Amino acid sequence: MPARGVTSLDVARLAGVSQSTVSRVFSAEDRVSEETRARVLAAAQNLGYQPNVLARSLTTQQSNIVGIVTHISNPFYPYIIEKLTRKLQEMGRQTLLFSVEPDQDVDEILPLVLQYRVDALIITSASLSSEMASQCERQGTPVVLFNRYVPGAKVSAVCCDNIEGGRLVANLLLDAGHKRLAHIAGRAPTSTNRDREKGFADRLRERGYGTWLRDESDHAYQSGREAAQRLFRRPDRPDAIFCVSDAVAFGAIDAARYDCGLRIPEDVSIVGFDDLPTAAWPAYSVTTIREPVNRMVDLTLELLVERIEHPQAEPVLELLPGQVVKRTSARLAI
């Protein structure tokens, strides 16, 4: 078991070098000869020494920690967090996770987040006010929004083109001849929810389809199931539902089959958004819009590094196209 209380000074004495040399070795600096580096590492192993990363950050003014603010009850975001965390570790950075409730304003939690002096922030599932974005900017904490944006805020954002995704779903359902359409929207006033609904609604109007049903959910299975139950109990029940996310689509599919005795896709078509890995499971086989997740993650981290290294860089908004994935939950045109 490593000894307790071993310091860099102890390592320096055993290795016959200065304390600053020990610091340079563990900071991976090039200004140390290979012979000296080997001697310091051998002394550290002999003593059971582990560098204090937090103490070092006080000197370097960099923690190598990226904060991630997310809503983990939406299954899309644990999927994203795993990818972000793995990529950041490959870059030599660690993550600090902060979870918010579905209806919680991220402005409430950010003052706490900023106390940890993270090098940068990725916000994946909450809105950020322009005022709080400015505060982050003044404190020198770069922010990148993942799959959402805030008009007027001076932060970079990487998003799936949710408006175009909604338009693709409208075309898909109308082309298949569906007559009674519905949308289960997201409750939170985020750009993701707004844009998916806007694209769907705009395209329906453009194609002369004037009225459709609407309900809301919080991107969760149970609320999606309950929203679908309400729609299916109507005398004019829909023959197709566009769900704001795959998690909601899972709930809608189970509501149709097990609560209302409907056949999928013969009686009702259900389309999701995200293309979670579980969307391909045979039990659901969800027709959905696939977000280009890997490219979105890579671009988010590229922008993050750019903002860390060049704080004066202008913020950018990157919109990446989604892709229709056709499975068996929807009746589609031949």
C-beta separation of 195 from 322 below 8 A: no
Q: How many residues does the chain have?
A: 334
pLDDT in tens, 101-118: 766 677 778 888 888 888
**pLDDT for residue 1:** 40
Would you place residue 61 in the very low, low, confident or very high pLDDT band (cuts 50, 70, 90)? low
**pLDDT for residue 113:** 82
C-beta separation of 168 from 324 below 8 A: yes
Return d(Cα 197, Cα 325) in angstroms, integer. Answer: 19
Superfamily of domain 162-291: Response regulator (3.40.50.2300)
The fraction of the chain above a pLDDT of 70, given in percent, is: 92
In this predicted structure, the answer to whether residue 56 has a pLDDT above a threshold of 60 is no
Least confident of 2-11, 64-73, 197-206, 233-242: 2-11
pLDDT in tens, 62-106: 668 899 988 887 889 899 999 999 999 999 888 999 888 766 677
Would you place residue 130 in the very low, low, confident or very high pLDDT band (cuts 50, 70, 90)? low
In this predicted structure, the answer to whether residue 50 has a pLDDT above a threshold of 70 is yes
pTM reported for the whole predicted model:
0.83
Would you place residue 58 in the very low, low, confident or very high pLDDT band (cuts 50, 70, 90)? very low
Superfamily of domain 8-51: lambda repressor-like DNA-binding domains (1.10.260.40)
Burial class (CB in 10 A: 0-12, 13-18, 19+), 317: middle
**pLDDT for residue 52:** 61
**pLDDT for residue 62:** 60
**pLDDT for residue 2:** 45
Q: Classify 61-160+293-322 by CATH class.
A: alpha beta
pLDDT in tens, 133-155: 777 877 788 899 999 888 877 78
Q: What are the extents of the domains in the chain?
A: 8-51, 61-160+293-322, 162-291
Q: Who contacts 246 (Cβ-Cβ below 8 Å, separation ≥6)?
A: 75, 76, 272, 273, 274, 275, 276, 278, 279, 286, 288
**pLDDT for residue 3:** 45
Q: Are domains 61-160+293-322 and 162-291 of this chain identical in fold? A: yes
User: What is the side-by-side strand order in the sheet with 94-99?
Assistant: 94-99, 65-70, 120-123, 143-146, 156-160, 317-320
In this predicted structure, the answer to whether residue 125 has a pLDDT above a threshold of 90 is no
- pLDDT higher at 6 or 57: 6
C-beta separation of 198 from 51 below 8 A: no
